[in-house]
Homo-oligomer: A and B are copies of this chain.
């Protein structure tokens, strides 16, 4: 399926091992999902993507962890990323999203897409009230 091959023994590379160890410690689980095993084909890229995802999703911030995963999943759905949709919906469920909330997420995403397309068809001028005051 994939366009690159994951290394057979990724943790023989100390940079990969360091990232995998941090993933396990941060998440409190031994499970390393496929995105990390495939990204290990280039340790620098692996380090960069993990740094980014950890900063956004695994670091305390203003927004609730469940909400952050739901926003992340919404963008992944809109961008048509199959893997990301599965992994971030699963992460949102792991952080407490119920089936009813998942249905509500789909309703918001679907309705947003509908009005996005209708307004991209109409192209009305933006109300002055919505512009940041400069």
Contacts and interface: CB of A to CB of B under 8 A. Distances in A.
A82 B123 CA distance: 8
Interface string A100-134: 11111111111111111111111111110111111
A37 B111 CA distance: 19
B80 A106 contact: no
A75 B38 contact: no
A33 B126 CA distance: 9
A86 B130 contact: yes
Contacts of A63: 101, 104-105, 108
A35 B121 contact: no
Contacts of A44: 103
A4 B77 CA distance: 14
Given A3-B85, A131-B86, A118 B126 contact: no
Interface in A67-100: 67-68, 70-90, 98-100
A96 to B, nearest CB: 11
Nearest to A83: B119
B78 A78 contact: yes
Contact of A113 (B3, B5, B75): B75
